[in-house]
Amino acid sequence: MGASAAKHLRARGATSVTIVNRTLRTAQTLADTIGAVALELHELPLALAQSDLVISAVGSGKFLITAQMLRGARAGVERRLLAVDIGVPRDIEPAAAASDGAVVYSLEDLREVVARSLEGRQAEIPKVEGIITAQVSAYQRWYRSRGVAPLIASLRTKAEEIRDGEIQRLFARMPELDARQREMVIAASITIINKLLHEPVTKLRETAAERALDSAAQQAQTILDLDAFSDRLQRQLAHAAPLLGLEKDV
């Protein structure tokens, strides 16, 4: 546990790490691995005086850090020491927690922190479930709407064929139209196509998103009649001609 804590602190950016162990060789082996300093156990007061954070994980059955040792080591040191005792049994004397120059946490304290954290997370579970349900529903709607993409493409292709055919017939009957007038007619026809397609395409996507339709034929029948759509498009183009300054009988 101590080795894991030391490696973690080093990886998180601790600039100075000291390993204190009853066996100097063991401390030195770990220190060499992470670029730390190794000290023997009798040098612990020195380490306490120079450190900002102490993590103890020995569990020898006796207090390695006593209240008296901690007060002596921190005498004259303004900054407070954070000591975390994860040894089982405890390594830091409980009375050390009363020292003015230190804050001491034991495993019991950490368990309380974890418990409070879990309570907070569990309280958020209904919100998380609601978010997940909404996202799943949105995904299902989107996925079902993808099924009508080929039909929408066919619908646009059909509309473009009708538009192009009507424009070519119009130009054939009115060869006197100049380039500018032809551009205006084409632009008007595209605008008409987009307006005519907007409502049926939107309805088609919404219908498919709400429920799975059996076939493309059923989809088309549900949304619009393509023959009727063709008639509407022709009427719209004929209506647009006089608005562009062209002959009314076009």
pLDDT of residue 242: 59
Residue among 69, 75, 15 nearest 42 (CA)? 69
Q: Which CATH class is domain 2-121?
A: alpha beta
Q: pLDDT-based confidence at 243, cuts 50/70/90? A: low
Hey, where are the domains in the chain? Answer: 2-121, 141-243
pLDDT of residue 237: 64
With the C-alpha atoms ordered 216, 219, 223, 228, is the resulting torsion angle positive or negative?
Answer: positive
pLDDT of residue 185: 86
According to DSSP, the β-strands at 81-85 and 53-56 are: parallel
Q: pLDDT-based confidence at 250, cuts 50/70/90? A: very low
**Are residues 148 and 166 in contact, defined by beta-carbon separation less than 8 angstroms?**
no
What's the residue count for the chain?
A: 250
pLDDT, tens only, 37-92: 999 989 999 999 999 999 998 888 889 999 999 988 888 888 889 999 988 888 99
Within 8 A by CB and 6+ apart from 17, the residues are: 6, 9, 10, 31, 34, 35, 36, 37
pLDDT, tens only, 186-228: 898 888 888 888 887 888 777 777 765 555 445 555 455 556 6
pLDDT, tens only, 107-161: 888 888 788 888 888 889 999 999 999 999 888 888 877 777 887 888 888 888 8
pLDDT of residue 37: 93
